Amino acid sequence: MNGGLPRRLLLPLCVILVLLWSLLPILWQVTTSFKPNSELLSLPPLMPASPTFEHYRVIFDEQPFHHVLVNSTVVAFATTLAALGIGSLAAFPLARLPIRGKGTFLGIVLGASMFPAIVTVGPLFVIIRELGLRDTWWALVISHTSFSLPLTIWILTNFMRELPEDLYRASRIDGCTPWQSFYHVFLPLCRPGLAAAAILVFLFSWTEFLFALTFTATEASRTVPVAIALFPGLHEIRWGEMAAASVIVTIPVFLIVGAFHKHIVRGLTVGAVKG
């Protein structure tokens, strides 16, 4: 201990600071969601003096928030399914079959993930309007799937590449067609990769804003982030209801991060960090 703060106190102190920095803004939003409107107009009190569920009631009773929640859920699940299905099919030959130009293809996939969404949203809008898909789930599922495909392919290719090469050969000898090798051997074995990809794709779709903003028009397909961004309120901003909506959309995220933290880390770092 060389003067100043003892080293063994320094670590916990820093950890607490980091935790406060990460969590306080979220906690403040939660607090806000339980404050009656009167308490939102002044500070103090910091904590709600008379906590209320009024804001939660309003967004469900007086606004079509349940519609919006259903839209978000359907779109996120459908996107996850589609991206995983298409992505795992693509990852298999990229990881295992002798195809020329695999490296180039993976490079292009990685490049595609770098497109600014705003660049494609204009032409996509035109196509979607022509096809009559505006303001439908389809518009969002298709665009979300396409934008999460590069990440999915990247994660799953890396996972499958780590499986021993002999497993594929053995399955071929055992009488599998390439499809059977894929379905009976590779798919079950890359379950951790599928989980990681599924979680990241779900989170992407659940939180995506630009496509959802552009391709939806009404509550028929509007997702939660758009609903929060375009919160109705002619004269004053309804902070309490917005906070309640924020809390609701964050709860699944919170649960996913809590339960699958390790998968998320694995998915984000696969390929980028290697031993």
Partner 1 sequence: MRCMTETRVGIAFLLPALTVLALVSLYPILALLWLSMRHRVLPFQIDQFIGFDNYALLFVTPRFWNSLTVTGYFAGVSVAIEVILGLGIALLLSHSFKGVGWVRAAVLLPWAIPTVVTAKIWDWMYQPQVGVLNYVLQAMHLTTAPIHWLGSPSLAIHAAIVADVWKTTPFVVILLLAAIAMIPRDLYRAAAIDGASSWHTFWHITLPQLRTILIVVILFRMIDAMRVFDLLFVMTGGGPADMTETLSIYTYKILFQTLQFGYGSAIGVVMFLLVASVSLLQLWIGRNEFRRMIGTQV
Partner 2 sequence: MPEVRIEHISKQYGAVSVLQDFSLTIHDGEFFTLLGPSGCGKTTLINLLAGLDELDAGEIYFDDRPISHLSPKDRDIAMVFQSYALYPHKTVFENIAFPLRVNKRSKAHIDSEVRRVASLLRLENLLAKKPAEISGGERQRVALGRALIRQPAAFLMDEPLSNLDAQLRVQTRSEIKKIHRDLKRTTIYVTHDQEEALSLSDRLAVLDRGVIQQVGTPHELYRCPSNLTVARFIGSPQMNLIRGTLISQPEMIVDLGHAHIPLPPKLISTDSSEGKSREVIMGIRPEVIRVQDGETSWKAIVVGVEPVGAHSWAELRWGDHVLRARLSVDVVLVPDQVVGLEIDTNDLHLFDAHSGERLS
Binders of partner 1 in range 5-34 (CB under 8 A): 11-12, 14-15, 18-19, 21-23, 25-26, 28-29, 32
Question: Amino acid identity of 22?
Answer: S
Nearest-10 crossing angle of helices 54-61, 65-96: 80
Can you tell me the distance from the alpha carbon of 59 to that of 39, in angstroms, rounded to the nearest whole number?
19
Regarding 164 and contact with partner 2 (CB under 8 A), the answer is: yes
* CB contact burial 139-153 (16+ within 10 A = b; e otherwise): bbbbbbbbbbbbbbb
Binder to partner 1 among 36, 48, 64, 178 (CB under 8 A)? 178
Residue 180 interacting entry, from partner 2, partner 1, none, C-beta within 5 to 8 Å by type = partner 2
Regarding 47 and contact with partner 1 (CB under 8 A), the answer is: no
Residue 43 interacting entry, from partner 2, partner 1, none, C-beta within 5 to 8 Å by type = partner 1
Tokens of residue 229, six digits? 């961004």
Q: What is the footprint of partner 2 within residues 166-185 (CB under 8 A)? A: 166-167, 169-177, 180, 184-185
Instruction: Give the C-alpha distances (Å, rounded to integers) separating 219 from 63, 213, 222, 230, 250.
Output: 10, 12, 5, 12, 20
Residue 14 interacting entry, from partner 1, partner 2, none, C-beta within 5 to 8 Å by type = partner 1
Regarding 162 and contact with partner 2 (CB under 8 A), the answer is: no
Collect all residues with Cβ–Cβ distance below 8 Å to 264 and sequence separation of at least 6: 196, 199, 200, 203, 256, 257
Q: How far is the CB of 159 from partner 1 (least distance, A)?
A: 13
User: Residue 139: CA atoms inside 13 Å, Cβ hemisphere, count?
Assistant: 28
Q: What is the footprint of partner 1 within residues 116-175 (CB under 8 A)? A: 116-127, 142-143, 145-147, 149-150, 153, 161
The 3-class secondary structure across 132-188, one letter per residue, is: CCCCCHHHHHHHHHHHHHHHHHHHHHHHHHHCCHHHHHHHHHCCCCHHHHHHHHHHH
Radius of gyration, CA atoms only, the chain: 23
Tokens of residue 146, six digits? 């396409």
Q: What is the footprint of partner 1 within residues 189-248 (CB under 8 A)? A: 203, 206-207, 209-210, 214, 224-226, 228-229, 239, 242-243, 246
First to last CA, the chain: 36
CA 71 to centroid of chain Cα atoms: 15
Q: How far is the CB of 78 from partner 1 (least distance, A)?
A: 14
33 close to 56: Cβ distance less than 8 angstroms: yes
Nearer to partner 2 by Cβ, of 50 and 177: the residue is 177
Nearer to partner 2 by Cβ, of 44 and 175: the residue is 175
Binder to partner 1 among 50, 57, 62, 107 (CB under 8 A)? 107
Residue 175 interacting entry, from partner 1, partner 2, none, C-beta within 5 to 8 Å by type = partner 2
Residue 184 interacting entry, from partner 2, partner 1, none, C-beta within 5 to 8 Å by type = partner 2
Nearer to partner 2 by Cβ, of 89 and 163: the residue is 163
Residue 18 interacting entry, from partner 2, partner 1, none, C-beta within 5 to 8 Å by type = partner 1
Question: Interface with partner 2 by CB under 8 A: which residues?
Answer: 164, 166-167, 169-177, 180, 184-185, 188-189
